[in-house]
Amino acid sequence: METANIAIVGAGKGGYECLKVLLTTPNVLIKYVCDIDPNAKGVMLAKQHKISYVARLSEFIHDPEVDLIFESTGRPEVFEELSRAKLPTTSLVGSGGTRVIFSLLDSYNEVNRSLRSYKMNLERRIIERTEELEKLNTELSKEKAATERLYEQQREINEEKSRYLIHTTHQLKAPFAAIHNYVDIILDGYAGPLAQETRDLVLKIKTRCELLSETILDMLELARLKAQDLELVREDVDLCAVVNDVVERFAVSAAAKRLLVRVDAPKEPLIARTVGKRLFELLAVLLENAVKYSPPDGSIEIAMKVASDGKRVISIMDHGIGIPEANLGKIFREFFRSNNAVRFEPNGNGLGLAIAGEIANLLDITIEVESELEKGTTFHVRI
């Protein structure tokens, strides 16, 4: 848009307002402000803005650059004189028109101002937000680095712990095996005939020996799982076959309690990509518990299905002693045994589920448990 050169005639109240609006209007150049009173309000403002002040019309009326004259004195004789004297290329707007135009201009400027300040606000907010984000980002990456460091340290500590545990259990095993040997030799009569009381006591030693060697093996197993000191080769595994192997593994102990183990398996093989041996171990822990914590003459149900998310789910349900709700969160801890379980079956070391949990961890398997005291327990294994 071309710049319009403007002259304002009359610098009183009306002219002053005109001037103020025009000063903030884009594409406008105010060339002259004309008033006979050199101290008029508008004249002062014009001088501040280095606009030429003239006292008489004749001083600018012949300037061909003037495109537009705003008459704002409100006096008809001034308007008449202007319309007579002005060049034909110059337009003239009288007081009435001037007022209308200025109120329009004023609102236009107002809109512009709000737009501008809105835009500025927006820019400011964008800058602020960007700064905030950057700050957050640096904080985050600092935190991330710190977390990674912590994680690394923790990993080292854990590895150290596992190495230590593997080492100690190894060290425990040999002397322990030697004690066990001697106990067996005594019981087999190699040290001479045994009185019944002696035999009973040595048998107790033998039982504890067996439990302890189980504990040592479990601890070693757990330490190895934790140290990830094991080969994990994933293959396509038929879950039905694994479940059948596990059931077979506990057939004798289930039969001894006259427990019926029912397997509800799909007709076709149910394949999952996992480590068969480890899955066997995990399920064996669960079935062992189901058998162990069921009263005689009952049943255990094993169900297999594909969940809606595609995961394979194996559920092992028993109708045994159940787990007190308060203990549900603790059963995967090492050495934890619930009091009701200890009362029901004194033998156990509380490592079975810790091992199962560790295997689940390694194989991205989740184990969920539902249980009601004295009603039974169901473990869902999602693969």
Q: Which residues bind ligand ATP (CB under 6 A)?
A: 285, 289-290, 292-293, 318, 320-323, 331, 336-338, 341, 348-354, 377
Counting contacts by CB under 8 A, is residue 173 touching other proteins? yes
Instruction: Name which of 243 and 285 has its Cβ closer to other proteins.
Output: 285
Residues between 334 and 363 with contacts to Mg ion, criterion CB under 5 A: 352
User: Residue 2: exposed, middle, or buried by beta-carbon count in 10 A (0-12, 13-18, 19+)?
Assistant: exposed
Distance from C-alpha of 242 to C-alpha of 42, rounded to nearest angstrom: 99
Please check whether residue 280 is in contact with residue 245, taking contact to mean a CB–CB distance below 8 angstroms: yes
State in angstroms the smallest separation of the CB of 310 from ligand ATP. 27
Residues between 324 and 363 with contacts to other proteins, criterion CB under 8 A: 355
Query: Which of 78, 112, 120 is CA-nearest to residue 95?
Result: 78
Counting contacts by CB under 8 A, is residue 177 touching other proteins? yes
State in angstroms the smallest separation of the CB of 328 from Mg ion. 15
Task: Provide the strand spans (E) within 181-259.
Answer: 235-238
State in angstroms the smallest separation of the CB of 184 from other proteins. 6
Bridge partner list, 290: none
The H-or-E segment that residue 249 falls in is helix 239-249
Counting contacts by CB under 8 A, is residue 184 touching other proteins? yes
Counting contacts by CB under 8 A, is residue 185 touching other proteins? yes
Residues in Cβ contact with 127 at an 8 Å cutoff, skipping those fewer than 6 apart: none
Nearest-10 Cα torsion for 254, 258, 263, 264: -150
Q: Is 309 strand, coil or helix? A: coil
* Residue whose Cβ sits closest to ligand ATP: 352
State in angstroms the smallest separation of the CB of 204 from other proteins. 17
Count of alpha carbons within 13 angstroms of residue 351, beta-carbon side = 17
Q: Is 183 strand, coil or helix? A: helix
Instruction: Name which of 54 and 225 has its Cβ closer to other proteins.
Output: 225
Q: Given candidates 20, 41, 99, 180, which one binds other proteins under the rule CB under 8 A?
A: 180
State in angstroms the smallest separation of the CB of 164 from Mg ion. 25
Instruction: Name which of 46 and 321 has its Cβ closer to ligand ATP.
Output: 321
Residues between 190 and 249 with contacts to other proteins, criterion CB under 8 A: 190-191, 209, 213-214, 217-218, 220-221, 231, 246, 249
Instruction: Name which of 86 and 292 has its Cβ closer to ligand ATP.
Output: 292
Please check whether residue 73 is in contact with residue 12, taking contact to mean a CB–CB distance below 8 angstroms: yes
State in angstroms the smallest separation of the CB of 174 from ligand ATP. 22
Instruction: Name which of 31 and 337 has its Cβ closer to ligand ATP.
Output: 337
Counting contacts by CB under 8 A, is residue 168 touching other proteins? no
In our burial notation (b when 16+ CB lie closer than 10 A, e otherwise), range 214-235 reads ebbebbbbbbbbbbeeeeeeee
For residue 237, the partner it binds in other proteins, Mg ion, ligand ATP, none, with Cβ less than 5 to 8 A by kind, is none
Task: Provide the strand spans (E) within the chain.
Answer: 4-9, 28-34, 52-54, 68-71, 91-93, 235-238, 260-264, 271-274, 299-306, 312-318, 366-372, 376-382
For residue 321, the partner it binds in ligand ATP, other proteins, Mg ion, none, with Cβ less than 5 to 8 A by kind, is ligand ATP
Instruction: Name which of 8 and 354 has its Cβ closer to other proteins.
Output: 354
For residue 281, the partner it binds in Mg ion, other proteins, ligand ATP, none, with Cβ less than 5 to 8 A by kind, is other proteins
Question: Beta-carbon neighbour count of residue 63 at 10 Å?
Answer: 15
For residue 336, the partner it binds in ligand ATP, Mg ion, other proteins, none, with Cβ less than 5 to 8 A by kind, is ligand ATP
Counting contacts by CB under 8 A, is residue 365 touching other proteins? no
**Residues near Mg ion, by CB under 5 A:** 289, 352
